[in-house]
Amino acid sequence: MSDILTKLTYQTFQQGKNYFALGHKALSAELKKLVSPSKSSLKPISANLLLNLQNRLNTLLEIDWQDAEDGVYPKSLLFDNSWEDFFRYYPMVWLDAPQVWERSQQQKYQDFSSEVNTEGYPSYYLQNFHNQTNGYLSDLSANLYDLQVEILFGGSTDAMRRRILAPLKQELQAFADISPRQIKVLDVACGTGRTLKLMRSTLPEASLFGTDLSPAYLRKANETLSQIPGELPQLVNGNAEELAYLDDYFHAVTSVFLFHELPGVARQNVIEQCFRVTKPGGSFIICDSIQTSDSPEFEEMMDNFHATFHEPYYRHYMSDNLVERLEKAGFVNIETQVHFASKYWIAHKPK
């Protein structure tokens, strides 16, 4: 009976987040028409497509529950939500919205305030991704990011992130002969540390590492991760095209929502770096957006995402063959999965 009640509570919690996100987006769209009117170039989404999307979301949530039921991670993780951050930063989302709308309308995609230091970053990174104020280079952006993507994906972002945990736990069985405390896992482009926080619940004793190009996001990650039990993950500021780690160092490497924000050459460079730092017999797990090859029925929706949010490399990503890129780097036995709006690659480095 307790499991049934817990599942119903989880479903209600997720449904509430979904309704809240839909309401926010509907209100935001109406206010945008008043404050920053512009001619829409978005393609209409059919009722059948929306129904398909809802069915995919329901399937994702069922898998999320089942993984918790199977002990991949504790059920408490299903309800992990930073209410303090929500009440503190949700008003700021609205206060920042007029700047986002204006930036989008005027196509000011490399718009950074004078207080932000943009020196030393690759040119492809100096973008207002999602039309965010100061891109990924300010503390405000870091504080709003998790809330913004939760609204974008209807409260399902963590459920999509958690889809890397079951394969990660399974792949690490290849190193079952060593102590769990000796296991080392790297999250590339760790951002605010949300994935590392989820990972800690699955791997309570492992040594976790994170690297990101944004000092502001790493500050947020450190704030988030210092509040949870267990050894604090080691965070490093750096470019994923030049990972600051030894060869064959990690038993597993992960990356969540990075590759659609990289140009093709950088994508390949990052994959090759991940291959270099992964131990023989180890694995590399990617979570990112769906692509046209696996979800052609959602192509119009993906085109709308490209048009609505400033994602300059997304159109190329939609048709990019990451399996081919992974194989070129040396990975083998590559498995792919699709859950809701996300796609996963599970690649292995030969022993």
pLDDT one-digit tens code per residue, 270-283: 999 999 999 999 99
Over range 28-45, report the average pLDDT.
80
Q: DSSP string of 57-82? A: HHHHHHHHHHHHHTTSS-GGGGG---
pLDDT at 105: 87
Average pLDDT in the chain: 94
| Helix and strand numbers, DSSP H then E, in the chain | 12, 7
Does the CA dihedral 105-106-110-112 come out positive or negative? negative
pLDDT at 47: 87
Over range 171-192, report the average pLDDT.
97
Over range 105-111, report the average pLDDT.
89
pLDDT at 41: 64
Q: DSSP string of 90-153? A: HHHHHHHHHHHHHHHHHT--S---TTS--TTS-GGG-S-GGG-TTTTSSHHHHHHHHHHHHHHT
Q: How far apart are CA 346 and CA 331, in angstroms?
A: 10
Confidence of residue 230 (pLDDT cuts 50, 70, 90): confident
pLDDT at 348: 98
pLDDT over threshold 60, residue 1: no
